[in-house]
A and B are shown apart, each in its own frame.
Chain A
Amino acid sequence: PILPEQYRVDNIKVIKIEKSTEPLGATVRNEADAVVVGRVVRGGAADKSGLLHEGDEILEVNGIEMRGKSVNTVCDILAAMEGTLTFLIVPASQARAHSSRESMLHVRAHFDYDPEEDMYIPCRELGIGFQKGDVLHIISQEDPNWWQAYREGEEDQTLAGLVPSQSFQHQRESMRLAAEERMSKPQRKSTTLLCGKATKRKKKKGAYADAGYPITNTADEFEAEEILTYEEVSTHYPRANNKRPIVLIGPPNIGRHELRQKLMEDSDRFAAAIPHTSRARKDSEVDSQDYHFITRAQFEADILSRKFVEHGEYEKAYYGTSLDAIRSVVNSGKICVLNLHPQSLKILRTSDLKPYIVFVAPPSLEKLRQKKLRSGETYKEEDLKNIIEKAREMEEKYGHFFDMIIINNDTERAYGQLLTEINSLEREPQWVPAAWVKAT
């Protein structure tokens, strides 16, 4: 084939790469008539050879001219080839300072992703789908918009896949939110995202814990609406004398109490944190056993110094669960079991206690109905719908904090699942926020 004049012979390189039936692991894109290497994917033959680079123009492969062909044609031709492939290439003019292999980054995804639905992914066939909660091993951040990654459990894949980078995901999510904001408030000239969200938040006050008292969370109420992308995680190895507290989260009347009670029956292994109260001690009660009895003034001081994970007021007395109370269960070598309002997760997660968060969710409306009938409970249809709606809201707002979701259709079964998980927490390493590991 006759080459366009601009290619001087000394500018053309011949490279040979061995190809199996698997793809070489490089992508091509069209730039006018040219077929140019878009990226080299980790794990493939092209990557291992080190001979192909982003920006290289492919002129020929085994004597077949590539210039002028669409990437789809190139893809089909190459797919049919096997053995030694001889490439005629014009190397990228800007030889990229080949970044030394960066260290691997492990992240937990805080959003669902489906490459089939993503019009921005450069190469759909390389896209990895994942769900909120999945762990991804990021092995290349060379492209600022598209990371190369393996999904946890699929490290045996030859080729890495593509996932949106943190900055790309953040950028498009903030654009989407801004667009949403514009549409919902067309008459106003400019509304900041923050204001819009903050007002929404204000309405959702007055949460009640199951004890019946309104729960106030010690963490700041009005923090900026976060855009959830990825969270860096590290491996945490279980320690016999430092067990992770189990936190049960969920809508009321879905069996969190039964689950907690069932666990606590094994009192050698599980214990509750002893709450504080400002009410007077009754004769039958023992200080530091039933409650930590403190004065109202002391309680208020402790609230201010952020000692409580959550607290509330009931019949003119304060009640609350303190970080120290949880810590003292942990120090005793037992597993602390807590039923908390999801608002409390933030403060707990920023502590050193490494909570393991279980969301106890209702089954479908129909199954919930059957469940109530089975247990002979009277119920109002309205209440069941409320429970499901509440669960949905919780999951939307706090889902990124959950380590596990149990659908409680049958308490025995849910208990079995929970116990199995707790047992494995004592044996298997776990992914936890990287900050938890760095801090210690």
Chain B
Amino acid sequence: LINVTRSKRATRGTYSPSAQEFCNPRVELNHVLKPPPEERLI
């Protein structure tokens, strides 16, 4: 069921590769902003 919720959410967005490229935080951001510890839904 979690998977259902997950895939449902996942399909909400729109596929826009250019926007992804644009927003991709890979560049130099990583050492400034640290990703938070992963949370899972129960």
Binding site for B on A (CB under 8 A): 21-31, 38-39, 41, 71-72, 74-75, 78-79, 111-120, 122-131, 151, 159, 161, 171-172, 175-176, 179-180, 182-183
A123 and B9 form a contact (CB under 8 A): no
- Contacts A23-B1, A115-B9 given; indicate if A182 touches B28 (C-beta within 8 A): yes
Q: Are B29 and A125 in contact (CB under 8 A)?
A: no
List 27 contacting pairs A-B, 8 Å CB cutoff, sorted by A.
A21-B1, A26-B41, A26-B42, A29-B40, A38-B37, A71-B38, A74-B42, A75-B2, A75-B40, A75-B41, A78-B42, A112-B13, A112-B14, A113-B23, A116-B13, A117-B24, A125-B5, A125-B6, A125-B9, A129-B9, A131-B14, A131-B16, A171-B33, A175-B29, A176-B25, A176-B27, A180-B27
Chain B contacts to A: CB under 8 angstroms: 1-2, 5-6, 9-10, 12-14, 16, 19-20, 23-25, 27-29, 32-33, 35-42
Task: Find out whether the CB atom of B9 lies under 8 angstroms from the CB atom of A127.
Answer: yes
Q: Which residue of B lies closest to A114 (CB)?
A: B13
CB-based contact A122/B29 at 8 Å: no
Cα–Cα distance between A180 and B21 once the two chains are bound (Å) = 13
- Min Cβ gap A45→B in Å is 10
Inter-chain contacts of B5 with A (CB < 8 A)? 23, 125, 159
Query: B8 CB to closest chain A CB, in angstroms?
Result: 9
Q: Check A176–B1 contact: CB distance below 8 A.
A: no
A368 vs B38: C-alpha distance when bound (angstroms)? 47
Distance in angstroms between the alpha carbons of A127 and B13 in the assembled complex: 10
Could you say which residues of chain B place their CB within 8 Å of the CB of A182? 28
